[in-house]
Structure 1
Amino acid sequence: MTLTPEQSYLSTCPVCQNQIDVTSLEPFTKLKCPFCGQMVRVRRKFDHFMIVRQIGEGGMSRVFEAEDETLGRRVALKILNRQYSRDAARVEQFRQEALITANVNHPNVIKLYSVGYDQGYFYIAMELVNGGSLEQRIRREGTIKEEEALRIGREVAEGLRAAQQLGLIHRDVKPANILFTETGTSKVVDFGLALFVERGPDSSSEIWATPYYVAPEKIIDNREDYRSDIFSLGASIFHALTGRPPHKAESNNIQELRMIKCRRVALEDSGLRFAPRTIHVINRMVAFRPQERCANYDETVEELRLAEGLVGQGYKTRFSGRKLRWLGVAAAALVVAFIVGWMVRSTGDRAAVAITETVDESYEDLNGEGVTLQAGRKTVAERFLEARETMLEKKRFAEARQQFEKLIDSGDARQPTLNWARFNAALCCIVINRKEEAEKHLKKMTEDTGEGSSLVSDEIAGFFKNLGSLMGSNLGLGTALDKLQYDTTQEPLLGYLMQGLAEWHFGDAMLGMSEMEHFSVHLADVKSGPNAAALDWVQGYAAVYAVYQSDIEVARSVQDLATPQDLESCRRALATVKKAREKLRNTGALKLSLTRKEEELKRELVRLRMNEQRQQMAADRIQRERELSQLAEITTVLPSLVQGYDYSRVVELLKDVRFESPEVQSALEGRRYLYEQGQAFLTQLFADIAQSGYQGKLQRVSGSTLEGKVTAADLTQVTVTLDRGVLTVPLDTLAPESLLEAAQFFAEQTTDSSEYYKRQERIAVFARVTGLHNLSATVAAQLMEENRSFRSRWMKVVQ
């Protein structure tokens, strides 16, 4: 929006009709008219809103109760202060609040109607609630009852959850921003500081917050997320429960606030008594570290709901004193038994060690294929095969890693067994997400490849050297499949599996999938190669691939996921990614990638939804303006359709009209209600006269009066019996006040309360239709206090 230079604004004095220059005055300012001396309010009207009274004031704006003269309803009109209305950045922030609030559709969030710019001021029109704020209640009542405070907190958390689902954090949750309807429902207001999470932190140098309730991380590190709002909500409930905020932070100095906010608070330190569950949930919400608070709003809502349900419930000990004494005796016996057992076991262990050492002194060396064996110990080959069985058949990778590392550290293994143990230990480390340890094992392979040994072929020595050099540093992450070039008919085929696992867990999951699939496809080459029988053990590593096979299928399902272009395709993509992430059985880069993709799609969904809502809001605004124009034209025509007191033509016309805009349709229904009830008023009056007649004075429109008994009446004429005879006069020559007096007479004779209320409602309506607004308002005001159903109908007419 482009801001225009300051213009001159004139206001007409309602008393002397002279114009007053009000350019320098704020909205709803009261001043003495320089011409007649009468105290008047100026700048009361903004576009089609008429200010009734001021109901609130903040650092950037003031809030007024106003009447929407177009739709006939009361609204809260928030007007940006003069200095900010001239500031394009502040106006844009105000517009952002409007857009944010409009996108959050929830019963615990204030509803926004429209925005505008008039007389040099930017404004927002929104839902008006008359139950006051939590801040006002705390001032008035001191403290809020425990169950009531928890209910308020739960309802606000539900509203904030709806905002967070759109990627929003509020950033200024406090008692003043928690309002109540007349029925007590809590509503969050003032998203003026709200921030879209996907846009990152606030880049401005200002820290806008309320010191009493701001989260520590905002003051200390200038960082925040939805958990900061959870802290502020917890602090607000703390204030409501105890009558004072958790941190008595009177200063706006950042350094002082940092010192204050470093002090941990606990509800039990207030000196007041609360249910244990209440203490638990409030203390979690105001925890110093964000990670100690409730993990999300679902958990926050459920915790508050549980605490609310447990208020006032006592806790009884399940054991009597005698049972507790027996339990104490039994516990003491168990402790004694444990100590004795430990002493016996310790003695046995020491004896066993001594015996083992004695036996080990008399071991017998055996010679077999260059491998030294000791009596009573497993061979290197047995230990290697046992570890490989644990890894491939039992799939216990952490246990297998320990077995391979013990074999490596023993110094017994020779090449190539030593490097194959390192290979397998590294593979296990990768599977259990121990990257640095895997790198160490692979790097060691380059220091001793077994080259020159009669037991190690040049091909295998070269494989160990190449694999160690590539993966010994950062596991060779990012190496393309075609750069590996391992022999697919020999043992080096396992290099593709190792590299694929590394990428899957720590790098590019899709590249890892390609490399593992390359390994799986070429296992047949090993089986059909010249050394198939000797390399049969390589086939066993298909078991490792099998662990990831289902996850690889998941990866394939999202591999070619197209960038969404519209809202529906974005929803489908998000559902696909979410479903894929939930299906994953193993941790690793794919899970992280899908989590990031899911967050990215959520942000894109918010952006697309907001674009769609902007377009819809623009279309709705155009349609509303068009329909308002049509309604205005119809309203202008209506008086010409009324013949005397005959409203039938108006009713028939209004029954056939329909509008798409809910606000305009509601205004139309209000007008139709008036004329239908006006008809009903006359029908009832004519029936009453026909039944018992009416004795009284009748005032004519001309000013003259008749006094006699009305014996008959319809839409055309009224029959009056006078002392001098019978007189027939046209109905439309009688003033509406006379008809209302007659109707009031018959209403007073009614003993049934429902019938009485019905008649009073028609009297209020007929008075309004005929222009007697003061009388109509008087009757309606009493009815609204006594009849709730009438109130909902009447609000369509006058709100």
Structure 2
Amino acid sequence: MDDTPEKHIAHCSSCGCKMDISPMGPYTNVVCPGCGSHTRVKCELGQYLLLGRHAAGGMSMVFKASDVTLDREVAIKILNEDYSQDEKRMQQFEHEAKITAAISHPHVVRVFTVGKAYGHFYIAMEMVSGENLEQRISRENAIGEDVMLPLAAEIIAGLQAAKHAGLIHRDVKPGNILFDAQGHVKIVDFGLALVTQGGKARATEIWATPYYVPPEALVGGEEDFRSDIYALGATLYHALSGYPPFPDTIKSTRAVAKAKEDIPPLAEVAPWLKPETCYLVDKAMALRPEDRFSSYAVMGEALRAAFKATEGAGASEPIRSRERAHRRAQSKHVRLGLLIIAVLTLVLLGSIIGLLFINQQGDDIVAHAYSGKGGEGDQAAIVLSGGADYDPEVAVMIAKQFRRAHEMIKEKQYSEAREVLTRLMHDDHVKEPTSSWAGVEAVIAAWLGGNSGDASEAISSLRQHMASHEVPAEGILGRLGEQLQAPKVIRDVGGEKNTMAAVYLMAVALKNWEMGAWDAAVPLFEKIQKNHLAHNSPWRVYPDLAQRYLSDFKKMESIAEMADPVDLVEAKQRLVDYKKLLRTLETQGRSRFRVRVWQLRLHRRMKGFQVPQDKVDEKVDEALDYEVALRKFRELVAVSKYAEAAAAMKSVEVSGGQKEGRHMWVYLAETASALIEGLEKVVIPREGLAMPIRAMDGQVYQRVVRAQKGGIHVKNPREDQRFLPWSAIQPDSVFVLFQKAYQLRLSNQEGQRRIEQAVCYLWLIGKEDRAERAASKLAEVNLDFRLRWQNIMKAQHKSP
């Protein structure tokens, strides 16, 4: 028997040239070797003509096609090239077609025929023109009960039909729920389905999506229709709340199984939903199959009860919906009870926080800002955890922490305030969007403290938090996070009518101020200062702070407008004015930096005055030079420009104790720069290096493709590769890449050199504890390094 594959010949549509297309897959775009024209080949599969790609799945591609015999539009599903020669996958594919064809129901996609062409199996099925539920969730965030519950009824009906045919789907998820032109449900992709025997079946592989896969499938247990009920419950959880049951950062099977034990009740993440709806979803997602609905009929009864509740009282609009930006439902009795408890508790404690709302993601519903007359009815809202496990004591504790942070800011304890706000951002009891707003306030505290390095670190932490909590990029918070990180002045200012306007405007104003764009900062400070918040508002501190910046601006503006001194007498008087100005400034950061730059320029100008009997104070000149250079050094380190940072410090002339400080910073930066330069020369394997790389914007890439001067190329599956400069990569990811690239061993000189680079890099990115631990071990075996590090530590105690 001849097993030689059949040879397929095609002709160029332009010149007629023959082309051997045997190894090509269906609908491949081939370039003619004769004339260079492009031709689609293998487009005819039996009676079907492929017209274009429609969708891609994990194991297959779906094409839009025409049935030339019956003159109708169909969908053609073909196994991906990677699996087309895999006998097991081909059998599964054929199995899918047969079991789907066995189901005849209006809410299950129809299969017309199964065929084989060019060595590929294909399934011809009903063409569903609408979007899928996953796309709808992405577009709308949370979907209202009055819309989703009727759709759930159609999904239940389709799954029930599969059960009657002796099947379980095993991959119920939003991506497999399609909508036809009339908006009705069509369930697709029975590729993982099992034929049940005695009502149960056991799979040999796990391919289902982790969010929705039932717990029993993760451990290879028996599955039945209740497994599909769980997946449907998880799908409804995602659709109704706008959030998947657990974060996408959880990957391993063990971690997923653990996460499924701790999924918060739906009422906690979506408090606007009716109790009947929450019962429907929570019951379907019970951890043990025996605790779920005993049949689709029983689940249908619960669904009808939920729908009846929405008809009787009206469905609450999801807080996460795009249509709802600032309205909040006030009719939920449970929430009202919690509000009363919270208010009474906080009043007794004299808290500045009024009403504690139980809420999830939204842009304009974090806090009722205090505006207008600011009467007693103007209350704040901090978003905390709610539901059955709501704890007023925890609520009060968190409210106290916010109050404490704002008091610290008022008392100019900016570093301490930043620490408190950062902890609140990471506290699981504080829900979105309040947790992200706490992160924004941590950035504000860093800028108020005048340290640009701290601010960069706070922004990076905020962006990472937003990414892990899926804060919408198009919302006010998402846009603000991106604007704070971008190295440019923010002139497109929105959010002035947002209930968090004081915090939003303060963050934008400070960003512009610290970039030296005072023309873009001052008008914003004026708006904040005019925002008349109630006397007990937790954000009352920001108008007061805005007033400080406006005051400093007026002081500096009056001096900046003065003409340059023409002689030494005028210059010395101007120096007196500058020193007096520094003593009266109320803010840190850019304002003081600008005055010191003026001082430095004036000292240099004074050197040109020909008055030999009255020499300029060289030590003052050196001190100003060093301070300006050190600020520039820290700004460069914050964006991973270590070689430039070292050069900035080398350029300054110093004497005395400042020499030690300059030497320390130059050594640290040059050694860290050597680490980066080494990474740029690393040879990445052809298949790439599999490791997560987290960008500064929170995006995670799964593979490093190659390194080059200035950064690395990264990519995700089914995406084009992207170049990331070092400044766009989280420092922690850079260090992990360094660890993977080199074997850091103390037993040889090369390893010791790399470890010294790691020590300096860790120190500059703020990981002093890790740096000191590594330095201690290296010092035990390398005497030269021990002496260098001892000198660095001495200089560190003297350095600002």
Give the alignment's TM-score, normalised by structure 1. Answer: 0.38
The structure that is helix-richer by fraction is 1
In our comparison, the structure showing a higher alpha carbon Rg is: 1
